[in-house]
């Protein structure tokens, strides 16, 4: 019996849609990262980018458990001295709910060129409307 390995030329990428309404941010991000990596497929190959496209809708209705809305902090740095910026998860959910899920999924992807290419296939929308109806996305439930 021989092991089959996926090849970039023979891959067929599907489109999946995940509804984040009422689900926790982390569990939604795990589903998205698994699909983006291609680990849900039987012919997953670690050194080949064999993941699919993911659309996350209703990101504004995703929830945090516990006190994460007030205690979880997101940091970024401008590059200048004293340029550390900090925002809480609750404030970021009000201003840019897409950024919360993008940040969670990006942290779960590999830190290499395959992870960067996978992240480009992620589309996150705050509401239920998206512009990818032509791709005929299939709802994904785990």
User: Is residue 142 over pLDDT 80?
Assistant: no
Dihedral angle of Cα 26, 63, 28, 135, to the nearest 10 degrees: -150
d(CA 85, CA 80): 11
User: Is residue 3 over pLDDT 90?
Assistant: no
Q: pLDDT tens digits, residue range 28-37?
A: 999 999 999 9
Domain extent, residue 50, equals 14-64+95-139
CB-based burial label for 130 (10 Å; 0-12, 13-18, 19+): middle
Residue 113 covered by a domain: yes
Number of domains in the chain: 1
Mean pLDDT across the chain: 94
């Amino acid at each position: 019996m021989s092991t089959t390995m996926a090849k970039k030329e023979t891959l067929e990428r599907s489109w999946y849609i995940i509804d984040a309404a009422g689900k926790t941010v982390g569990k939604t991000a795990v589903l998205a990262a698994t699909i983006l990596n291609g680990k849900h497929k039987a012919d997953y190959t670690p050194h080949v980018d064999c993941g699919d496209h993911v659309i996350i809708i209703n990101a504004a209705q995703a929830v945090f458990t516990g006190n994460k809305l007030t205690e979880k902090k997101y940091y970024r740095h401008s590059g200048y001295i004293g340029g550390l910026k900090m925002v809480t998860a609750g404030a970021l959910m009000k201003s840019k709910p897409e950024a919360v899920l993008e940040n969670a999924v990006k942290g779960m992807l590999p830190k290499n060129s395959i992870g960067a290419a996978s992240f480009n296939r992620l589309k996150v929308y705050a509401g239920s409307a998206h512009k990818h109806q032509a791709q005929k996305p299939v709802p994904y439930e785990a």
